[in-house]
Amino acid sequence: MKILKFIYLSFLGIALLSACAKHDFFDETSITGNIGPHAYWEIGSAAISAGSEMPFEVQYYTTVENTEIDRSEVWYNIFETEYKSVSCPWVISRTYSITSSISEEKRVSQKIQEYPHALAAWDTLRHAYSFNATFPISNTLNVFTWKPDVFEYDKMETYFGAGFMENFKDSLSTIMTYADYKNMLIGLDIVDDFKQYTDSTLDLNQGDDVYVYHFPNHTVPAEVTELYNNVPFDRLIEKASVYYVGYERSYYINAILRVYDKRGVYGTTISKEIYIN
């Protein structure tokens, strides 16, 4: 809508100019706003540890006559990223895993630190004021990782959400083949011989017997379904004492530097994306 409105006003202005050449429509109605200082900065790194100080260098100048620089300010917002992954190692017919990575803004941009203009010195070569300083990275932005050696149901529900374990188990059952059930139930020591749920049939291509679920429809027998339903969730995602599940919460910030003049007008640098490790 904004683009269309701009085009409409542009054509309206042209029409008015054509109708009355002495009437300067744009000079009387356009608003350019006050011009703030021009600023450029470089930061020490694109990644930093929580609780550290990020070094930076800034250069700035003003093109407005009779206006002095007042101060600089670093601002940043905070984004939180959650990465989740869980898989079942007993499925051999395919890879069955669920992963997600979601980022959202957890805190809007706020002023972090202020620097007086007195810190700056005029650089005759660059034709700009410049100084070096640092700004703090909150020590609450540490990366958090959950990769359990001992499975805890309450933490699984906290990190993956209520109902996730039930939905995972239900979805898994819809894709499991005969070979998957056999591998899982024997591997978990739930049954010793899976042939009790099958019939053999001759495969002419292989010249040997193959096993399928009981005739007539070869669907998963009720006995197998019941055995599967009784398998605890943690055993579905564990094999050889390794749990195939992980959760990670990390943060990144978008930082800018504002340079204010004595009128309270400011100019900004480009935003710097910084990952917290």
Percent of all residues in the chain with a pLDDT value above 70, rounded to a whole number: 82
pLDDT of residue 156: 98
pLDDT in tens, 34-86: 899 999 999 999 999 999 999 999 999 999 999 999 999 999 999 999 999 99
Tokens of 276: 């917290």
pLDDT of residue 205: 66
pLDDT of residue 112: 98
Give the type of residue at 220.
V
Tokens of 95: 């890879």
Q: Are 269 and 40 in contact (CB under 8 A)?
A: yes
Least confident span in 99-113, 144-158, 186-200, 249-263: 186-200
Helices 153-160 & 164-173, crossing angle to 10 degrees?
Answer: 90
Q: What DSSP element (H or E) covers 171?
A: helix 164-173
The strand pair at 266-268 and 242-243 is best described as unpaired
Q: pLDDT grade, residue 196 (50/70/90)?
A: confident
Tokens of 118: 């007195």
Q: Please state the pTM of the whole predicted model.
A: 0.77
pLDDT in tens, 206-254: 656 667 776 666 788 899 999 999 999 999 999 999 999 999 999 999 9
Tokens of 51: 């609780």
Distance from C-alpha of 74 to C-alpha of 52, rounded to nearest angstrom: 15
Distance from C-alpha of 265 to C-alpha of 270, rounded to nearest angstrom: 17
Q: Of the candidates 69, 162, 80, 161, which has an alpha carbon nearest to the alpha carbon of residue 120?
A: 69
Distance from C-alpha of 273 to C-alpha of 137, rounded to nearest angstrom: 13
Q: Are 200 and 209 in contact (CB under 8 A)?
A: yes
Distance from C-alpha of 274 to C-alpha of 213, rounded to nearest angstrom: 56
Q: Are 276 and 250 in contact (CB under 8 A)?
A: yes
Res. 21: pLDDT tops 60: no
Distance from C-alpha of 269 to C-alpha of 111, rounded to nearest angstrom: 14
pLDDT of residue 254: 98
pLDDT of residue 219: 83
Q: Of the candidates 138, 81, 132, which has an alpha carbon nearest to the alpha carbon of residue 257?
A: 132
pLDDT of residue 109: 97
Distance from C-alpha of 74 to C-alpha of 113, rounded to nearest angstrom: 5
Distance from C-alpha of 97 to C-alpha of 86, rounded to nearest angstrom: 6
Tokens of 18: 């054509």
- Domain spans, the chain: 32-190+231-276
